[in-house]
Structure 1
């Protein structure tokens, strides 16, 4: 690891327009006085050299010196103290001490997955005490820089706190852009740094000055990952003309046999062959002795043999566009050499590799599948997942709730085909309206960032391991400020994707985006919540507020219109709005109430909720609840410029099949249905962020 001296870093960054104090260097204390001649007190003296990465901790900084002579004396005392600690400095830096102001840290670190990440926060000792920082992936825009400052809890200090002068925010933004913007410090360094830090940058009413600067680089630049082979068309991956399955047995059923059965059950209409050295057929599927003998029309090969045999199989796959390796036992199990051999085999045979350690692809329209049973109806929702099991759950649970999928790809270790590549393909697919991601290690994080910035299709991401894997600090404070969770949050803020924390929320958000994504609605954060029970409404207010959604007050004309409908007696006409909903209530009241409100104030989102328990505590038939669902569907048809969402609370109190029937009625009208206010709030927030960008 190489560390440049502070004065050399400052001289370099001044060329990017970053302000630094006037100063000079001296090889020893006796030379400090002459070096300081012409500098205006108060002065600061610092020692530099090996062992002085953290100068303040080592006692290698003296401030507030009134003259060049005092600076020399301070350097002499510093030298003695450092020698006692076994530290021999290379020299001393004497500078004009910057005027007082707010101390800010500006830094950049190379994240292992996403590359350069910019950080800003309260600096000096506050960096460690408060850890009040904001992150963005580089390069940043001016909007990014200003949003980062807005996120700081200590922002009030920059604005002038308790009569103090406000800092020059424009100057601080210029520093952020000089470090992390296009053509800035980070871009100029490329791979030649591990960590860059300005701490502190002193921000005052007349500008921003970097009074300390640190640049840490590896002894040599890390190797760039080999670029993946080009794939002109991912179409054959999702709609292959033919499929070859390697690994099925004539004696003991295994994963290969299971997949042959899946394709037969799915009604795959293309050519299906098994690879076996001697058998004429397996389970009624004709065999070929090797992939090299598969013949024309095979676009996809599924390999389910032990890990050590996979590379050999892939070397026989020349002419087949895509090979999926289901087998595990590679990098994820501590055998990177087997994965490297597999990649080399794919390169040699000219195929694109999906996996290893993945389940494959699901595309109902073509019969491509990794799931048993009859495929669901083709739809417009796509998913890319690093977990095959989780992808199967998303598909099966989603289809049970009425969702329909266009293309689902599992990528496992992503040794060749990456989530970023598939994301770009799916975003250009006219048959896909929303994309879900489940990722743990994106492999090409920088490519993922760039892909997300360049697409308009709504994306919802569930990220595994966000709290369990902090990034190790590189060498100083900045590295310790950056971790997996915060990088993903920065990615979401820069690209507009929605991050969720559970599989259920991922499915729910995709449901809303699919049904409501094409609606043209007011781009505002306000929502209207309407339903029974004051207590439930109060809790709903808390939930939606926590999701960043605003329950705006109802205007006076709307309240008058509601009174004309007989509402308001015994309850307040507020948002959330309490209305009678139950087995003896008028199911159309919700339609009339919402129409009265929307005629006076537009709401992009209306969440109507119902308590299923009350329908069967005070009634004995499902008909009133189903009638209410039809009324909600009619409301959506009458209000196409509003997103209507239905919440069926306490659905377990309904007889079997009733909530499913409610969901089906609502979905036929384009209304997504949720079981809790919490899940609805996540989905509605996803719609606002991904579709109209209001939240």
Structure 2
């Protein structure tokens, strides 16, 4: 890979957050510090040195000898055919450089070596017994700047970059992780025998993955920049690593450890101070004074001379403010000075932008140091703050919504505001929402660990743009014990860098985040709408104990059913066939899944619940997705009542079937008069039935519900 193949890109800025210099802005992707050895191959261990290391760890490698000149007598004891490899300071990708010859006899080694030496800068040669043919794999490690050591496995050799068929996990992996990695490969069939070829020794491949990435594996003993075994030849009798490469990196810096924080004053402060509101010219600080007054939280303004600001009592500095939470909205250059006065205040939020995200890392370091000196915890900078109906905390207008059980941690304040307002419109009720911006002090991992123990929170959503503290976040996700949905922004190119191995080139943010989700049971979603939809599913069904993992889709119109099957297939959800004879006596012509059942303005509202009951009495189903064409109720009918009756019948079915998760899809809901969809959602929500407008949204939610299971 060349340096041009990689690089950071700017993350999209939130349009709601840049109409003033002091308003917070979403984080831009930051340059990853480069290891100075990334472009200097002189210090890279040679292949035979790396193979000595891996052989000592128990990885099978070919028998071989090292020759520094053209005397190949020592190779006479090796079994032919032989492989000749040149090594030297510039020979990292040997095949591309013409530094490898296969199928040689011992008497042809000297001539082949002389030819290589005539065109390459060669230190010496490695001669090895040629491994038998088999399935070529790649096994690699990368020291990811956010998440630490990451293991990669996939199709190797000439297929590595052509197919890019790989799976990733964070180290250390477990044996189930290793087997799932192999199962995820598009070429997995090659391992189990394909078109007359015998299956390889999969247990030997799993053992190799554990040797490299498992507890006590090579990843713990390497100064890890990049490490790669490619190809590894897998055969029915075992595995052989025929090439090995190691690019050392910097030793990881130990993570700072803190005592677990009590974030309750962050979400439910006794009183709040606002720094930066103007006595003469309304600004962001004044807007927050208005928000807080509307919420009814005890409030004080901080102003150097005014006795009050916009009717709010004022004190000259934070040192005189008896509060649990302070919001700072002053120019970035003044923030550290203000925060130094916050002694005795548990939490200070810096709303202002203009720090690391704007290339001013020095200001961000000074700000964090000021918070440490004052003994306060810093939220932000470059963030909008906290929303908590129970604590009357808010950063959005229009008052606070109902208190609920869903929490959200977001790096973007604008996106968090949208999730709050749209989510509440769709029936979400939040326990805690916190925006972290640049996360210079308080991190998403800390907050997630606390929320996992919070009695008011039963599900968590995350929106993140970089893996700062990624290893701690991974551990927090593994230990969470409650449903978590994760949306990641800017994940296609951020964090990539120039790579001297194939492994380094193929570890991108998207793939690492997917590995984190797979290892921790986190639901990884791809859009804001899906984040809201999955959280609605968790809110409705998160504590429901279910039987099995089968999914049934039921509703009108064969065409809609076919499209529903496609949507669930894309979401990775299998629709199991119906049991034989289960519909006997119900008068239905079709018996597939999706199941076509007449639902409309002249249909019997209770038919679908009867069919659901008949099916689940015969065979357990975890999820039933009932869909309805709302348009038909107003094209072939003239009132909303039949639609309401159907919603009430589904709600009753949910109450009668506590071990089944029922979900309702109101297709073409925009065809209903104003207020009809809201009433359908209200009827369904009272029984714990989430409502979606599209089959795709419901499929994403049901798939996420199966990521962790029930809480």
> Into which bin does the TM-score normalised by the smaller protein fall?
over 0.9
- In structure 2, C-alpha distance between the alignment counterparts of 1:330 and 1:447, rounded to whole Å: 23
Q: Deviations over 1:490-512 (max 9, x none)?
A: 11111111111111111111111
Partner of 2:7: none
Question: Aligned runs of 1:610-621 on 2, under 5 Å?
Answer: 610-621=628-639
Is residue 56 of structure 2 the alignment partner of residue 21 of structure 1? no
Instruction: Give the C-alpha shift of residue 468 in structure 1.
Output: 4.7
What is the correspondence of 1:265-414 to structure 2 with a 5 Å cutoff?
Answer: 265-268=294-297, 271-295=298-322, 298-414=323-439
CA contact (8 A) 2:460 2:535 kept: yes
Q: Distance in 2 between matches of 1:538 and 1:146?
A: 33
Identify the residue that residue 12 of structure 2 maps to in structure 1. Answer: none
Distance 1:340 1:226 in 2: 17
Shift in Å, 1:470: 6.6
Verify: 1:111 aligned to 2:152, yes or no. Answer: no
SS of the residue 1:124 aligns to? coil
TM-score norm. by structure 1 comes to: 0.94
Give the distance between the partners of 2:429 and 2:75, measured in 1 at CA: 73
Residue of structure 2 equivalent to 1:94: 127
| Paired residue secondary structure (1:146) | helix
Residue of structure 2 in register with 1:5 after alignment: 46
1:136 Cα shift? 1.1
TM-score, normalisation: structure 2: 0.92
What residue number does 2:268 align with?
239
CA contact (8 A) 2:548 2:620 kept: no
User: How many residue pairs align between the two structures?
Assistant: 670
Please give the alpha-carbon distance, in whole angstroms, between the structure 1 residues aligned to 2:199 and 2:169.
Answer: 24
CA contact (8 A) 1:418 1:442 kept: no
Matched with 2:207 is 174
Alignment partner of 1:46 out of 54, 69, 85: 85
Answer yes or no: is 1:642 the counterpart of 2:660: yes
Q: Give the one of 169, 180, 200 matched to 1:147.
A: 180
1:141-191 deviation per Cα after TM superposition (whole angstroms, max 9, x unaligned): 1111111111112222222222223211111111111111111111122xx
2:162 is the counterpart of 1:121: no
Q: CA deviation at 1:72?
A: 2.6
Distance 2:341 2:528 in 1: 38
Q: What corresponds to 2:10 in structure 1?
A: none
Q: How many Å separate the matches in 2 of 1:556 and 1:58? A: 63
C-alpha contact (below 8 Å) 2:416/2:435 kept by paired residues: yes
Q: Distance in 2 between matches of 1:500 and 1:493?
A: 12
Does residue 113 of structure 2 align to residue 80 of structure 1? no
Deviation at 1:473, TM superposition (A): 4.1
User: Higher RCO, 1 or 2 (CA under 8 Å, sep at least 6)?
Assistant: 2
Output one character per residue of 1:66-99: Cα deviation in whole Å (capped at 9) or x when no partner. 22x32233222221232xxxx2x22211222222
Matches for 1:549-568 after TM superposition, within 5 Å: 549-560=573-584, 564-565=585-586, 567-568=587-588
- SS of corresponding position for 2:349: strand
Q: Which residue of 2 aligns with 1:579?
A: 597
Partner of 2:685: 667
State whether residues 542 and 710 of structure 2, in contact with CA within 8 Å, keep that contact through their aligned partners in structure 1.
no
Quick check: 601-610 or 231-240, which moved more? Answer: 231-240
Structure 2, unmatched stretches of 5+, are: 1-36, 38-42
1:228 Cα deviation after fit: 6.2
Question: Where do 4+ consecutive residues of structure 1 move more than 6 Å?
Answer: none
Determine if the alignment matches structure 1 residue 203 to structure 2 residue 234: yes
Say if 1:49 and 1:367 are closer, same or farther in 2 by CA, change over 3 A.
same
Whether the 8 Å CA contact 2:245–2:501 is kept in 1: the answer is: no
The answer to whether the Cα contact below 8 Å between 2:409 and 2:433 also exists between their aligned partners in 1 is yes
Q: 2:98 aligns with which of 43, 55, 59?
A: 59
Per the alignment, residue 629 of structure 1 pairs with 647
How far apart in 2 are the matches of 1:300 and 1:15? 56
Q: Give distance in 2, aligned partners of 1:76 and 1:300.
A: 74
Shift of 1:266: 0.7
Match of 2:281 among 252, 255, 260: 252
